[in-house]
Amino acid sequence: MERALRVLIADDEPLARALLKEFLSSHPDVEICGEFENGFDAARAALALKPDIVLLDIEMPKLNGFEALELMDPQPAVIFTTAYDQYAVKAFAVHAVDYLLKPFDKGRFDEALKRAARTARSQDGPVVDAPAVAALARSPQKHLTRIAIKDGSQITILPSSRIDYIEAQDDYVRIVSGGKGHMKQQTLASLESALDPARFIRVHRSYIINVEKLTRLEPGTAILICGTEIPVSRAGASRLREILSGRR
C-alpha cells in the first residue's frame, strides 16, 4: 500500500482553508501536514515538513505564493488556489500542476488533486524552475522591494533598501547587507532587471551596487559607506555619473 501524500495548505482566508480541508477529507490517500495564513510561515514550514503537495494561494501577507514557492526545497507538486485570474500564465510558466480559480467546486478540486498526486508519486517528481519563480514573484511594472533568501532551514526577508552590493558567483549571487553576505541561486542579470535602476547600478560585469550606499567614486573603484571597494568598469562609471548627476 502506498503511503499517504502529505499536503500543506497556504491561504490567508480562514473560510478558504476550511473548504480545502473539507474537500481533502474525502481522500484517504492524503494527510494534511499543516495549514498557514501567510507565505513566510508556509515556506518555512515546508522546509521542515517536506510536503508532497502544496495548495497555495497567491496574494498572501509577508510573502506571496510565488515567493514562498521559490523557497520550498524539495519542490512539491503545486496547485495554485486564487481569486485572481491574471496569474494563470505565470503559474503554468513555473510548472504548477493546476490553477484553481475561486470559487471552484469539489469536482474541479478532485481533478486537480488527482493530477498533483500523480506528479508527486512519479519518479521524476515535480519540476519547478526556481529562477523563473523568482522572476515572476514581483508584480509587473513594479521593482523588487524585498528579496527572500533561503539558507538551510532559515529564511531571511531582506528589504532591497538595505542591500549594499550584489556580487555574481557562478550560478549564484552574493547579496551583501550590513557586512553580511547571503547566497541566492539567481543570475546577476535577472536580479538587475528586477531592481530599481535608479538605485541599483551594474558597475561591473560581476557587481551591482546600491548608489545610496556609495560614499565616493575613484578611478576604477566605488567606495561604499561600509568601506568595501567595488571594481567599476568604464561603462559602469558612465552609468554611475549619469545617475549621480541626475540627483544633484
Pair (118, 224) in one structural domain: no
Encode pLDDT of 130-179 as tens digits. Answer: 555 555 555 555 788 899 998 888 899 999 999 999 999 988 999 999 98
pLDDT of 107 above 80: yes
pLDDT for the residue 115: 92
Q: How far is CA 18 from the centre of its chain?
A: 26
Number of domains into which the chain is organized: 2
Buried b (16+ CB within 10 A) or exposed e, 113-140: beebbebbeeeeebebebbbbbbbbbee
Among candidates 37, 42, 35, 33, which has minimal Cα distance to 70?
42
128 lies in the same domain as 151: no
| Of 50, 57, 17, residue with least CA distance to 33 | 50
What residues contact residue 229 under an 8 Å CB cut-off, 6+ apart?
221, 222, 223
40, 124: one domain: yes
User: C-alpha cell of 37?
Assistant: 495564513
Q: For the segment 188-231, what is each residue's pLDDT rounded down to a tens digit?
A: 998 998 899 999 999 999 999 999 999 999 999 999 999 999 99
* 39 & 97 share domain: yes
- Given pLDDT bands bounded at 50, 70 and 90, which one contains residue 24? very high
Domain that residue 217 falls in: 138-246
Which CATH number belongs to the domain containing residue 150 in this structure? 2.40.50.1020
Q: Are 165 and 225 in contact (CB under 8 A)?
A: no
Q: Looking up cell 568601506, which residue turns up?
A: 227
**pTM for this one?**
0.79
